[in-house]
Amino acid sequence: MYGSSDLLILCATAAVLVCAGIYLSRLRFRYIALSIIGLAFFSFCLALFSLTVSSELTDLHKVILAMFIRFAVPLVFFCLSSIVTIRLAINRQHTPDNKPAASSLIDRYNSGVMAAWAELRRWFTRAENRAVCAIAWVMAMVHLYFINKPTFYLGDEGYYVPEANRILNRQALLVLEHPPLAK
Amino acid sequence: MSVFGRHAFGFRMPSIVFGIAAIFIFYLICRTLVRRGLPTLAEAGRAGTWNYWFQPVVFVPLLATFLFAVDPLSFDLAHIGMLDVFSVTLMLLGFLFYLRGRQQPLGGRRVYYYGDRYRHAWQRQENC
């Protein structure tokens, strides 16, 4: 059964989608904005549906909700980063000598959250940061290789994971803590 | 676990994400500390050349980051579902913000934005 935390995630996702849609509509990406606002509306409908008739949720609804929760946020970030990349390319094209951009539509990318996000993306592609990116990439691959080894719980996982499972199943806690560390 | 799933990938993946983030944060801290009194990255040479990677301002942070990444304790903590790696990463992030904040004027977003006019004397001496 889906609890309040899942509904909170869903509503937060829908709010992010609405913000993205409004932002994109201001940038005249009308079709993408309309599709994202449609996704947000769909998620709100799902949230309302699960709030009202949560006891009658079928497995199909659960699968749709779970897939939406897991993939909507990465999808939004992917769309936003792609759009920023495209717009920065347009900006570069219009301002070859680092002159201030002529259009207010392009000026918007030189400040604010999107500029910070674009700057973060550029940081990983700079030549001077190649070495630390290589170190992090290799370590990520090693971590992912060892992620299922060993198959038993290591250290405090033996306490946290069963407790987290019980929290997700809305069952009583095994070890009474306040607040529970497994949460 | 509700996002990644109720299996080993689910309860170990957040630790890996924070462990990898800690590597980048540690590198930024080392680069900020080593930069004092040494040539800047721009003065060290052109990135990609053999001489560039062995300049102290480039090599020392990379060596420290590599040792941090392969350190058995940080490596183990970064791929098991415990809470230590989260606190370590956030503490490193706080220390990085502290270092960056010391280098910037109060309320300023970028040092070069305001120029040297509004920076204090002690900041001018130890920066860049």
Residue at A50 is within a domain:
yes
Q: Which pLDDT belongs to residue A98?
A: 52
Q: Which pLDDT belongs to residue B49?
A: 77
Is the ipTM higher than 0.90? The answer is no
Residue at B67 is within a domain:
yes
* Closest-CA distance of chain A to residue B12, Å: 7
Q: Which pLDDT belongs to residue A58?
A: 59
Residue at B28 is within a domain:
yes
Residue at B80 is within a domain:
yes
CB B77 within 8 A of CB B88: yes
Token pair in block for residue B93: 């992030």
Range of the domain at B15: 8-126
Q: Which residue has the higher pLDDT, B91 or B127?
A: B91
* Closest-CA distance of chain A to residue B73, Å: 13
pTM for the model:
0.58
Residue at A88 is within a domain:
yes
> How far apart are alpha carbons B102 and B123 in whole angstroms?
8
With a cut of 60, say whether residue A39 has pLDDT above it. yes
> How far apart are alpha carbons A43 and A68 in whole angstroms?
8
> How far apart are alpha carbons B44 and B50 in whole angstroms?
11
CB B75 within 8 A of CB A145: no
Residue at A39 is within a domain:
yes
Segment A54-74 shows an average pLDDT of 62
Asked whether the beta carbons of residue B8 and residue A181 sit closer than 8 angstroms, the reply is no
Within 8 A of A161 by CB-CB distance, chain B residues are 1, 11, 81
Q: Is A171 part of the contact surface with chain B (CB cutoff 8 Å)?
A: no
> How far apart are alpha carbons B23 and A143 in whole angstroms?
13
Q: Which pLDDT belongs to residue A15?
A: 73
Residue at A61 is within a domain:
yes
With a cut of 90, say whether residue B114 has pLDDT above it. no
Residues in contact with A126: Cβ distance below 8 Å, sequence separation at least 6, in sequence order:
B47
Residue at A129 is within a domain:
no
Q: Which residue has the higher pLDDT, B85 or B54?
A: B85
DSSP class of A154 = P
Q: State how far the alpha carbon of A137 is from the alpha carbons of A6, B20, B22, B54, B62, in Å.
A: 32, 8, 13, 21, 14
Residue at A169 is within a domain:
no
Range of the domain at A82: 4-110
Q: Which residue has the higher pLDDT, B41 or B74?
A: B74
Residue at B3 is within a domain:
no
Query: Residue A3 — φ and ψ, nearest 5°?
Result: -100, -170
CA angle B94, B96, B98 (to 5 degrees): 70
Minimal Cα distance from A135: which residue of B?
B66
CB A97 within 8 A of CB A42: no
How buried is residue A46: exposed, middle or buried, by Cβ count under 10 Å (0-12/13-18/19+)?
buried
Number of domains in chain A: 1
Q: Which pLDDT belongs to residue A103?
A: 46
Residue at A138 is within a domain:
no
Number of domains in chain B: 1
